Amino acid sequence: MNFSFRQFIFAAVATFTIAVPAVANDMTDEAIAERIKPVGSLYLEGEAPAVEVAAKPRSGEAVYNSFCASCHTPGVMGAPKKDDAGDWSARIAQGKDVLADHAINGFNAMPAKGACMDCSDEEIIAAIDHMIAGL
């Protein structure tokens, strides 16, 4: 494309004329602060970010549906299937403390907390209870 200088100036003025009022319409302090706020945070090693704590823990069913079901419904990589006594019997025989330890800290192919890093230990245990409730 071969633009003349006149076409370039016209396009630049038209763009500026259209774009500036859209930005300049809201020049309140709040609007400006919203436009220039940081998009992220930086934490130095040893500093922990502020983590919001849920008002009440998620139910075992909610944790299961959000994090556990993708592996424990079809039995991915040997994961015991929900409500399948054959899959769970040997695990349950080891005791609930071992079940909780494996779920919280990870075991074999299972990642720690089933990759729910914001789940509390109690929420993980509630998810286990939900998976074995029908046995």
Domain locations along the chain? 60-132
What residues of the chain score a pLDDT lower than 70?
1-3, 16-25, 49-55
The listed CATH number (1.10.760.10, 3.40.50.1970, 1.10.3720.10, 1.10.10.10) that belongs to domain 60-132:
1.10.760.10
Each residue's pLDDT tens digit, 19-51: 555 555 677 888 888 888 887 777 787 777 666
pLDDT of residue 12: 75
122: nearest Cα among 92, 96, 94, 84? 96
116: nearest Cα among 83, 73, 68? 68
Between CA 18 and CA 30 the distance in angstroms is 23
pLDDT of residue 72: 94
- pTM, entire model: 0.60
